[in-house]
Amino acid sequence: MADNRRPLFAGNWKMNLTLDEAVALADGLKNRIGRLRMVDLAITPSFPYVATIAKRLAGERIAVGAQDIHPGDFGAFTGSVSGVQLRSAGASFVLVGHSERRHVFGDTDAVVAEKLQSALAHTLDAVLCIGETLDERDGGDTFAVCERQLAEALARVNETELSRITLAYEPVWAIGTGRTATPAQAQEVHRIVREWIEHRYSAGAAGRLRILYGGSVKPDNVEDLMAGPDVDGALVGGASLDAEKFSRIATYGSQGSA
């Protein structure tokens, strides 16, 4: 990790927890890591909890975001949530293109691009997720897939807007499976992604851009993953539902960046 990029550890709670459990988890994180200053911290609760958790963590150093966004503002889109609504609920950022949105709900590259534009238009920062399936990796298509996803999503994003985006490389085969990309595999993809950004934008933009790794990140593997010079933090799934585990991950990041 470069010295000029501040690590970010983001917890994706997915479709988990009751409201009381979500509040208890937020309180646990606030007490354990709410004042860490060497890293940035973020969580994405389920939609119904965003407003409550955002109020609970007001004034803390833990950003609250959402797990998805609809491209429109208002209208007959039952079950969807817009950037206007997320902003009014207290969200400051949103995940876009998470592999579960792509592969479970069918979000195409074009849809992901529209969602990213909506997030930026509503002054929400974004964590743009990219990554390949196991078949694509085994077929030698990892870089082609990631570059295609980047090209579509960032086609209408200028360099100023890019500063509000964090990338997250999450190999689909490593999400919720217990299988993790090796540190070398993660670093290789992160390096290629950063080189693509440099070619598309500039060396300065590439040097400033944070690229997270996501995929079965745990306290016992975060140190090895973070050793890669192009790995700037983690998008954490299951371990983020445990205040003690997520705190250990973030605390390592704080020590490692000191």
Which are the catalytic amino acids?
98, 170
If we measure between CA atoms, which residue out of 212, 238, 165, 243 comes closest to residue 8?
212
Kindly tell me the sign of the dihedral angle through the C-alpha atoms of 61, 49, 175, 114. Answer: negative
Pull the structure tokens for residue 227. Answer: 């050793």
- Give 70's strand partners: 82
Query: E strands, the chain, where?
Result: 8-12, 40-44, 62-66, 93-96, 125-130, 165-169, 211-214, 233-236
If we measure between CA atoms, which residue out of 151, 153, 132 comes closest to residue 143?
132
